[in-house]
Structure 1
Amino acid sequence: MSPLDHKLLRDLWRIKGQATAIGAVIAMGVMMLVMMTGLTASLTETRNAYYERYRLADVFAPVSRAPEHLGARLAEIPGVSAVQTRVQGRALIDLPGGVLPVQAQAVSLPEHRRPALNDVYLTDGRLPAPGRPDEIVLLQSFAAAHDLRPGDHLRATMNGARRSFDIVGLAQSPEFLYTTAPGELVPDDARFGVIWMGRRGLAAAYDMDGAFNEALLGLARGASKDAVIAAADRLLNPYGGLGAYPLADQTSNRFVTEEIAGLEASSTTVPPIFLAVAAFLLYIVVSRIVQAERGQIGLMKAFGYGNGEVGLHYFKLILAIASGGALAGCLLGIGAGRAMIGVYSAYYKFPFLVFQLDPAAFVTGVAISILAASGGGLMVLRRVFALTPAEAMRPPAPPDFSRAGQVGRALGRILDQPSRMVLRRITRQFGRMAGATLGIAAGMALSVSMITIMAGFNRTIDLTFSVTDRSDVTVTFTHPISDKTLLELARLPGVDRVEPLRHVGAVLRNGLTTYRGGLTGLPDTTELYRALDKAQAPIEPPDHGVVLSRALADVLDIVPGDTLRVEVREGRQPLLDLPVSGVAETLLGAPAYMNMDALNRALGEPGRVSGAYLAIDETHETAIYAALKDMPTVVGVSLKSQARDALMAQMNTGAGSIRYVMGSIAFVITFGIVYNAARIALAERARDLASLRVIGFTRGEAAFVLLGELAVVTVMALPLGAVMGYFLSFGIARGFSNDLYQIPAVFDPASYGQAMIVVLLAAVVSGGLVKRDLDRADLIQALKTRE
């Protein structure tokens, strides 16, 4: 080992605290890159393989009722490679001991073969035997939530008739990776199930003998999806076609795709922030080392070492810190990715989900870390090349005391001696102090944005379930029925208020931009469910026009006053041109509100409702649920409290928990910046502080001179970090939001207070560590250091 390499090891040991802190910042950036890239690759590849192996359809074509022979005509559409017709419908599962019926979707299976499309993955038991309409296969996650297994019995209501079934198998399906009850956005294994049964039995239950109500289409390579959808709609429209749609609009796939897109965006935006901060810290540390080792650099050059050898020596120091941090980040990324895979497995029902290491992520992480570190170090190495032996061995020019200015002299008259020393240090090293302030502010900005996002999640929950939706129960009917049914609901003991709603599926268009969603009809006066404006004031649905949620207006790129084209996909399927009369601040989903009477008139179906919101007395809830269970027209009963709990669980322990990871990393980067600022100040002032101790300053007074500088820099960073965090939070909130749910970046003073506490805590811990080193310092050795 060469003498310079021996010196390199000694230098690394001497600055091990700073090297560890900088390496930790680099490790956090690489960890995020490896973890998010690996999660993206794992979800994408597993999803694609699952879809391909079990032949998930490329196009879904629901229809009211179409004859079976139409399947052959669908197969003749150019570009269609496979067709599977089936029967599907909504059901209610009656569980023993359960007071509330559980929503389910019933799906048919071919009698004598596997499905050509949308096959199922059997996890236990077997498929229903041909000619056995009482045998079913149950969704595995739902069965696990209720401790059901093959051999158990189940009662369910289908099309108003209650039937008993034998569970013969448990299964998963690529069609139900993300399982939510119709009309809801949050998955809950206990509140939604899927039932597969033989085609004949299910057709008999829903009056579909010789007919189907959904066609699945597989496309050949290179086929035009839009052309196939248009052709399928032309064939199915005479039979009540509800509008074919591609896999991209399928609910389960949309959630998985949005999650993957969010991970991809985060993997390209978050890690560079950490690596840029690490480059800044390396620049400061190496700059300080070069300044302190001027004499040694001169001696090395005097003994024959060239600029390249001396520069390479310090460059190795940079590479050692960067490589160590990158290696630690790779290992941490593997561990964090495997831990997060367990979280994703709980919400996305893959048969298996293994964290896949992406070699490109390791190469990219290490390469970017080294390049970022090199960028910070190369600017310092220019000084090494510029130093001649004679110049390097001379002491540096003394600092210019005149830069304190009139303000510094004025303050100096009213400050004691230690405080004046702190003030002189700050004014003389203004550029470095400004850099440290900016670095600490950047760390605080990350903390502010992460805590703001956490508050935004809570804001979403509170606004949705306390302000917008003030009901207790939502009831959904099997089909649009007479509003006279509301009187029957209102007469139930314990029901305090009933409000109707009408929901119809629709395709919303603004020019070339389309969105597959629906129209929600609300009555003139609403108390239980309201559309709200930005000031949280109720918006009355207009007699002629539509009110769009903020997310939907952004997706369609439409503003109030514009005209929206609505293609209704139910009943007579009218084509409506509606003016946009307002925008509602809705944080869950992307609804479009309309006056219910106006909607019914446009549909030619006056006096029809598809559901109702109920406010109930909790003391009568058991009797109310039992009555709803016995109503043949009721196909769904949802409790707001259960939906709220499910959303909170998803936000706190599901995929949304990644924000806690990012919040922890923000603390690490803040601590790294503050600790390095304190260590650099100690290294630069070791001789001065030793001199103060020798002339009679106590340990506390000497520590005040050192840590006072850190305190001033930290306090100056707080308002700057608050401003930076305010703007950064909007960008991060936009990254977390999509058309399915929105996370607002709200100004929450508590969030800023918590972020300040994080910074102050990091400063206190850093100050304590530095003071410990100061108390242990060898005064004689420090005084021997040449100026």
Structure 2
Amino acid sequence: MKGQALAIGAVIAVGVAMQIMMTGLHLSLSETRDAYYERYRLADVFASATRVPNAVASDLAGIDGVSRIEPRITGSARIDPADGGLPIAAMTISLPDGRAPAVNDLLITSGRKPDPNRNTEVVVLEAFAIARGLTVGDPLVATLNGTRMTLRIVGTATSPEFLYVTPPGEFVPDDGRYAVLWMPRAALEAAYDLRGGFNQALLTLSRDAKTEAVLDAMDRVLDPYGGTGAYARSDHMSNRFITEEINGLAMSSAVVPPVFLAVAAFLLYIVISRLVQAEREEIGLLKAFGYRNHEVGLHYLEMALAISLGGALAGCALGVVSGRAMIPLYTTYYKFPFLLFRLDAASFLIGVAGSVTVSSVGVLWVMRRIIALTPSEAMRPPTPPDYSRAGGVGRALAQWLDQPSRMVLRRITRQPARMAGAVIGIAAGMSLSLGMLTIFEGFNTALDRSFGQIDRSDATVSLIYPASDSILLELGRIDGVQQAEPVRQVAVVFRNGRATHRGAITGLKAGSDLYRALDGDGHPLTLPERGIVLSSSLAQVLGLQTGDTITLEIREAARPTVTAPVVAIADSLMGTPAYMRIEALNQLLGQRNRISGAYLQIDPSQEAAVRQRLSDFPMIAGVSLSKDAQQAFARMMDQGAGSVRYVMGFMAFVITFGIIYNTARVAQAERARELASLRVIGFYRSEAAFVLLGELGVVVLIALPLGLALGRWMAHGIAAGFSTEIYQVPVVAAPQSMGIATCVVLGAAVASGWLVKRDMDRADIILALKTRE
């Protein structure tokens, strides 16, 4: 039975490994995040405004529940790379003079903080410096509010505020295309004309503070100064992304391992049932000599525990190794200063206890037979099964088949319940494989839909601040720019009753071709003159449908609060966007002909010249190439957190193979005497093997269509687990995935058949014939 024991143990090991790996990653990320936040005092509340006098900071500090406040200056900037590449968008942050920030402190990883008396000294985000090959002492050419200046890097740093950093308008990190710069406060006061004031306030709250009350109070204080709305840490983009990843790991660790352990319980039940049936006489003898039921049952329980504990111990080791291997993937995208894989003692306990439980459940279910078996009944052969009701299907087909094929057919038709169990088990394993393959295809579809159908531009230009759409004409006149379309991004809080979401509205022109809103069938949506189009993910968050009304709290310009009808639901696989006509959006803002960026289509042969010309526009904050964003997304899926799907795909194959192999071995054990008899009366080895493996082949073929149907249902559940606010994974019924899943099952069947036939060829025929019926 070593082959069966190894197969069942492998399934248990996979389940326990997933439990330990995912629980360990969840614990590592959550504890490191919390410790980092606490040590460097990440703000509980963020609030921005146009210009706030310094004296107002005391009013904010006096709000009930506020324990610490840090007023600061932030602004957008652009960096012109030394190699003459495209402009890079950047964010500037002021540092207080002579002290560490009371809130949102930074960790200096090399060099030092800027000298308050030297306005050109700067500390840059470590990830950007590494990606661009920058070191302490290097110059950095930057444009702040229209003023071009040469800065000198005096240090690199990390900050809990920037664990997950993305370029403007994107959802996937690309360290080399977005920078964060910390500078002396005096330098930014001069650059953004904010002497005697600030434009952002950071607050930490006391333990008994009511966050909603603090947010309302901050809005009342900052509204006269152009406040754009205070928001809690839970709405901060970096924190929201890392929290979603942690929550996803928690859900996976609770859902995935039980699936593997349930399969193991099913396989153990089949194996123990077969053993009890085969060892009826021995059980009867033991009972006749005075052994009690629980003593006999304990023998089978110990065997099952040996298998499950062996698998659990292997899973513990595998979980630790795989968890440590995953840590570098997370540090690539989440900028922790350190991240060590933490072992959770509870996960080991749960994994081992779960293995023992599934073993016990299978044995206890079988023990009913042991208890019901009396010595006199057990010591005589079991009553032959009644095949009189097998039906006429077998007899009708038998006349067209040779003798070995009739044996296969007879076995299937006379034991339909057992065959149905094998079919369901194989179909379940196949459904998990197909579900994971469908997810692979879903990731590819998300990539193609986002960067091939929705965003069809070659480059996205972001402006320092909303400007006249006349700049669009200038961009369109650049040699090599074949098409230029406007876009307006406006920060907004969406409300539907108590459901809220902080996001942005994308304003597009009617009939936009380079960036489009698509319906569920992939067809472009026509943006209405009035109303708003919500993405399916945003509509789900807010609980809205077409025809409903949504409240929009716009956080720019005149900052109006308006209601708008939801005229359509767009299919979006990246983020939670919302769309309006750019003219209608500008009208809500009380502005005309304003844009915040543009989508460009570029002649590939003149891309270098276009890049150079774009660098000459002082209004441009940054330029993002679609191919760079696409490559960043693909890297995250293949090398970052998305690579977990490959681990799960391998484990799905382990389950599929384990089920098929055990089905074949149980059939071999049950028919060992029959197969030996066939050999003695003159059947060739190949013919005897055909009788056994033909049955397996029929069962597998029947399981294939059922597995395809179950796989569709399984894919929906797995897709829901992988989907986050960053991206949504669609369920795509791709023929390629179905073909590969079918090949996986057939390959597992062929491998199992080969292993079983090898054992049949090595079997001692005489010993098999001595076994009593």
Please state which band the TM-score falls in when normalised by the shorter chain.
over 0.9
Residue aligning to 1:91: 77
Equivalent pair of 2:301/2:359 in contact (CA under 8 Å): no
Structure 1 range deviating more: 381-390 or 218-227? 381-390
Aligned equivalents of 2:113, 2:432: Cα separation in 1: 52
Aligned equivalents of 1:198, 1:73: Cα separation in 2: 24
Equivalent pair of 2:86/2:622 in contact (CA under 8 Å): no
For 1:89, the aligned partner's letter is G
| Distance apart, 1:599 and its partner CA | 1.1
Aligned equivalents of 1:433, 1:91: Cα separation in 2: 69
SS in 1 for 2:488: strand
| Distance apart, 1:743 and its partner CA | 0.6
Residue aligning to 2:200: 214
Instruction: Find runs of 4+ consecutive structure 1 residues off by over 4 angstroms.
Output: none
Structure 1 range deviating more: 517-526 or 112-121? 517-526
For residues 108-157 of structure 1, the C-alpha deviation after alignment (integer angstroms, 9 at most, x for no partner) is: 11121000000011111111112111111111111111221112221112
SS in 2 for 1:707: helix
SS in 2 for 1:222: coil
Residue aligning to 1:439: 425
Match of 1:711 among 666, 674, 697: 697
SS in 2 for 1:305: coil
SS in 2 for 1:405: coil
1:398 paired with 2:354, answer no
1:639 paired with 2:625, answer yes
Residue aligning to 1:4: none
Structure 1 range deviating more: 383-392 or 288-297? 383-392
Aligned equivalents of 2:722, 2:84: Cα separation in 1: 36
Residue aligning to 1:226: 212
SS in 1 for 2:253: helix
Residue aligning to 2:672: 686
| Distance apart, 1:399 and its partner CA | 3.0
For residues 373-419 of structure 1, the C-alpha deviation after alignment (integer angstroms, 9 at most, x for no partner) is: 21122111111122222221111122333243110110111111111
Aligned equivalents of 1:363, 1:613: Cα separation in 2: 54
SS in 1 for 2:343: coil
| Distance apart, 1:57 and its partner CA | 0.1
Structure 1 range deviating more: 562-571 or 738-747? 738-747
For residues 38-57 of structure 1, the C-alpha deviation after alignment (integer angstroms, 9 at most, x for no partner) is: 11111111100000000000
Residue aligning to 2:606: 620
Residue aligning to 1:5: none
Residue aligning to 2:318: 332
Match of 1:142 among 125, 128, 152: 128
Equivalent pair of 2:425/2:659 in contact (CA under 8 Å): yes
Residue aligning to 1:237: 223
Residue aligning to 2:53: 67
Q: Normalising to structure 2: TM-score of the pair? A: 0.99
| Distance apart, 1:715 and its partner CA | 0.7
1:777 paired with 2:763, answer yes
SS in 2 for 1:786: coil
Aligned equivalents of 1:126, 1:480: Cα separation in 2: 35
SS in 1 for 2:585: helix
Match of 1:294 among 280, 303, 327: 280
> Number of residue pairs matched?
773
For 2:492, the aligned partner's letter is A
Match of 2:187 among 201, 204, 210: 201
SS in 2 for 1:402: coil
Residue aligning to 2:741: 755
For 1:437, the aligned partner's letter is V
Residue aligning to 1:269: 255
Aligned equivalents of 1:554, 1:631: Cα separation in 2: 40
| Distance apart, 1:303 and its partner CA | 2.6
SS in 2 for 1:477: strand
Residue aligning to 1:541: 527
Aligned equivalents of 2:130, 2:640: Cα separation in 1: 18
1:516 paired with 2:470, answer no
Aligned equivalents of 2:394, 2:543: Cα separation in 1: 55
Equivalent pair of 2:84/2:612 in contact (CA under 8 Å): no
| Distance apart, 1:298 and its partner CA | 1.6
Question: Equivalent pairs: percent with the same residue?
Answer: 60
| Distance apart, 1:202 and its partner CA | 1.9
| Distance apart, 1:283 and its partner CA | 0.5
Residue aligning to 2:269: 283
Aligned equivalents of 2:605, 2:666: Cα separation in 1: 66
Equivalent pair of 1:551/1:738 in contact (CA under 8 Å): no
For residues 422-464 of structure 1, the C-alpha deviation after alignment (integer angstroms, 9 at most, x for no partner) is: 1111122221211111111111110111010110000001011
SS in 1 for 2:636: helix
Aligned equivalents of 1:591, 1:264: Cα separation in 2: 27
Aligned equivalents of 1:433, 1:333: Cα separation in 2: 35
Match of 1:427 among 408, 413, 427: 413
Residue aligning to 2:539: 553
Match of 2:464 among 440, 463, 478: 478
For 1:686, the aligned partner's letter is A
Residue aligning to 1:316: 302
Aligned equivalents of 2:3, 2:46: Cα separation in 1: 59
Residue aligning to 2:588: 602
Equivalent pair of 1:102/1:636 in contact (CA under 8 Å): yes
Residue aligning to 2:353: 367
Aligned equivalents of 1:679, 1:35: Cα separation in 2: 31
1:39 paired with 2:31, answer no
Aligned equivalents of 1:170, 1:521: Cα separation in 2: 37
For 2:568, the aligned partner's letter is G
Match of 1:737 among 709, 712, 723: 723
For 1:53, the aligned partner's letter is R
Structure 1 range deviating more: 443-452 or 517-526? 517-526
| Distance apart, 1:292 and its partner CA | 0.8
Q: Unpaired runs of 5+ in structure 1? A: 1-14
Structure 1 range deviating more: 394-403 or 766-775? 394-403
Residue aligning to 2:491: 505
SS in 1 for 2:155: strand
Residue aligning to 1:496: 482
SS in 2 for 1:401: coil
Equivalent pair of 1:564/1:577 in contact (CA under 8 Å): yes
| Distance apart, 1:577 and its partner CA | 0.7
Equivalent pair of 1:686/1:782 in contact (CA under 8 Å): yes
Aligned equivalents of 2:286, 2:80: Cα separation in 1: 85
1:303 paired with 2:286, answer no
Aligned equivalents of 2:85, 2:9: Cα separation in 1: 56
1:166 paired with 2:147, answer no
Q: Unpaired runs of 5+ in structure 2? A: none
Aligned equivalents of 1:577, 1:130: Cα separation in 2: 47
Aligned equivalents of 2:394, 2:697: Cα separation in 1: 17
Equivalent pair of 1:552/1:739 in contact (CA under 8 Å): no
Equivalent pair of 1:26/1:274 in contact (CA under 8 Å): yes
| Distance apart, 1:295 and its partner CA | 1.2
Aligned equivalents of 2:695, 2:228: Cα separation in 1: 70
| Distance apart, 1:738 and its partner CA | 2.5
Q: Normalising to structure 1: TM-score of the pair? A: 0.97
Match of 2:165 among 179, 183, 188: 179
| Distance apart, 1:70 and its partner CA | 1.3
Aligned equivalents of 2:138, 2:581: Cα separation in 1: 46
For 1:436, the aligned partner's letter is A
Residue aligning to 2:513: 527
For 1:608, the aligned partner's letter is R
Equivalent pair of 2:124/2:180 in contact (CA under 8 Å): yes
| Distance apart, 1:653 and its partner CA | 0.9
Equivalent pair of 1:555/1:739 in contact (CA under 8 Å): no
